[in-house]
Amino acid sequence: MARKLALRDALREAMVEEMRRDESVFLMGEEVAEYDGAYKVSKGMLEEFGAKRVIDTPIAELGFAGIGVGAAMNGLRPIVEFMTWNFAVLAFDQIVNNAAKTLSQSAGNFKCPIVFRGPSGSAGQLAQQHSQTFESWMANVPGLKVISCVDPADAKGLLKSAIRDDDPVCMMESELLYGFEDEVPEEEYLVPIGVAAVRRQGSDVTLVSFNKMMYPTLEAAEELAKEGVEAEVIDLRTIRPIDYQTVVNSVKKTNRLVVIDESWPLAGVSSEIAYAIQKYAFDYLDAPVTRVNAADTSLPYAPTLVEAYLPNAEKIVKAVKEVMYMKA
């Protein structure tokens, strides 16, 4: 059976179920307890689990991320919530130099089962310092796993998998879509880390994206269908490890690829996908791989410039027509 849940409620249900299942799991972060979370993801959790397992922290990301890493090394399973991944920049030393390297530096003697989660990417008129997309930053680090999804059912199943994982996991959510509702199964389930999802079947071109860019991508696919172009849409869901095989299999069928990525064009997820396809499916390509990225600049504040900065359905349709050698 399934019922509709908002993304925030699916995430909360995942944490609650895992905290009931395993007493070593706890949540810490800015405003997660008394205020029920900055985005109400942890609403009601303090009341159920108490202040020892739902912990408000100071606005000191480096400090509480370090506490989480130490707790994970000593047998607990912390969930560390950042109010936004933009603030997590202050904690990168703990994430990159400690959490990611604990297993290898200890010759396998210490694991670091910790989840760092919170919203990533743009969220309207938040300007330059609060609108960055961090998937490729974190995915560049060996030792970390990176999840980036907004489908409520996926988010719940992937977060549960992340909490049970013995490696540190970074989970990227979307501030704009915490209220987005979709069907979520009532029964216990997990979504495996590292497996992409095919959201739409198609035969003419492959569209690959993740997180909230899935929605303009699916919108573009519907618009293209009106012109007789059937796009196959793949949601990566996990950025490290990437499910290359699902993308390769699709390109072997469609012979064309457009990658949609909210981050900047240089050294991003779209760059990695483009490289992998030219390596593993070059002989199947009938056109160069094309990317649709954010503009190569910091995000402006003006709403008209925000619209110009981000990928959208119109830009995706134009890119597809280019690889289909159609008039844009």
Catalytic residues: 61, 130
**Contact in structure between 158 and 152 (CB atoms under 8 Å):** no
Q: Of 133, 134, 312, which is closest to residue 213 (Cα–Cα)? A: 312
* Residue 119: count of CB within 10 angstroms of its CB: 27
Which pair of structure tokens corresponds to residue 75?
């047998």
| Helices and strands (DSSP H and E) totals, the chain | 13, 14
The amino acid occupying position 217 is: T
Question: What type of residue sits at position 263?
Answer: S
CB 13 within 8 A of CB 156: yes
The single-letter DSSP state of residue 179 is T
Give CA angle at 100 (127, 110), nearest 5°: 145
Are the beta carbons of 197 and 234 closer than 8 angstroms? yes
Q: Is 6 helix (H, G, I), strand (E, B) or coil?
A: strand
CA distance 58 to 236: 34
* Residues β-bridged to residue 222: none
